[in-house]
Amino acid sequence: MRIAFFATCLADTLFPEAAKATVRLLERLGHEVVFPFEQTCCGQMHINTGYQREALPLVKRYAQTFDRYEVIVVPSGSCAGSIRHQHTMVASSYGDAGLAARSESVAARTYELSELLIDVLKVEDVGAYYPHRVTYHPTCHSLRMIRVGDKPLRLLRQVRGLDLVELPAAEQCCGFGGTFALKNAETSTAMLADKMTNIVSTGADVCTAGDTSCLMHIGGGLSRLRTGVRTVHLAEILASTESS
C-alpha cells in the first residue's frame, strides 16, 4: 500500500528517530512510504492555546498537502486527534465551506500508527524484537479523543523479547497538555510526579507511548531525576528487530 507520512513538527524536528522508525516499520511490512515536503505542523498548539485564526493556514496546508493520498499515517494520537476533531471546526469558522469539506475528507483518511497497523493493514505481529522491560502509557488524546483502545498494547504483546508490565493509574494524564506545561508549569509538574512514581514502580527500563509530545514531558522528568528509565516511541519498539 502507498502510505503518506505526516511526521508531525515535533518528531520531524526533535524526535527524528520516532519518524524514521515509522518509515522503517512500514517499509519492512512491504508498503511504500511517501513524505510530502510541503508538510509542516497540524496547528494543534495554536488551536489549543486559543489561536484558531492563526491556525487556519496550517489547517489549509495539511488538507492541500495530503488530499491526494488515500491513506495518511501520523505517529501521534494527539495530532491525529486535532486533525480529525478540530480541523473541520477551524476550517468552517475561519475558512470556507470548501475547505471544511476538504478537511473533513482528509481527516477521515488520517490514521494514528496503531490504528493504521491494526485497522487498515490488519497486522498485530509486526515481527519486532525488543528485549526490554517496557511499560505503556496510553496518552490522553489517543485514549479519549481518537479512542485507539488497546491497539498499542495488542501490538506490544506480539513483540518478541519484550516484557510488558502494566502501569498503575495508566489512564491519568501525565500533565503535558501542550502549552499547559508552560502556563501551569507547577500543576503540570505535580501531575508528572505521580506519573513518574507509577512508571518507576513498575521496574520497567523503558516507558513507551504513541506521542512524542507526552514522551518529551515524561522523559524530561525521568531524566531530571536520574531515574534511569528511558522514554521510547511505540514506533521505535515496533521497528526494532534482531538485526537492528
- Binding other proteins by CB under 8 A: which of 29, 31, 57, 164? 57
Among residues 116, 103, 135, the alpha carbon closest in space to that of 206 is found at 135
- Binding other proteins by CB under 8 A: which of 3, 4, 55, 63? 55
CA dihedral 44, 48, 51, 55 (to 10 degrees): 20
SS3 of residue 2 by DSSP: strand
The stretch near other proteins (CB under 8 A) out of 66-74, 105-113, 153-161, 180-188 is 180-188
**197 is a site residue for other proteins (CB under 8 A):** no
**138 is a site residue for other proteins (CB under 8 A):** no
| Three cell numbers written together for 130 | 525488543
The stretch near other proteins (CB under 8 A) out of 126-134, 157-165, 190-198, 236-244 is 190-198
The stretch near other proteins (CB under 8 A) out of 38-46, 104-112, 153-161, 233-241 is 38-46
The stretch near other proteins (CB under 8 A) out of 12-20, 102-110, 154-162, 201-209 is 12-20
**8 A C-beta contact, residue 67 and residue 36:** no
Among residues 230, 228, 208, 211, the alpha carbon closest in space to that of 159 is found at 208
Q: At 138, phi and psi to the nearest 5? A: -75, 115
**191 is a site residue for other proteins (CB under 8 A):** yes
**190 is a site residue for other proteins (CB under 8 A):** yes
SS3 of residue 3 by DSSP: strand
CA distance 79 to 111: 10
**7 is a site residue for other proteins (CB under 8 A):** yes
**What are the residues facing 112 on neighbouring strands?**
74
Residues that bind other proteins (CB under 8 A): 7, 9, 11-17, 19-20, 23, 35, 37-41, 43, 45-52, 54-55, 57-58, 61, 85-86, 140-141, 143-145, 171-173, 175-192, 216-217, 219-221, 223-224
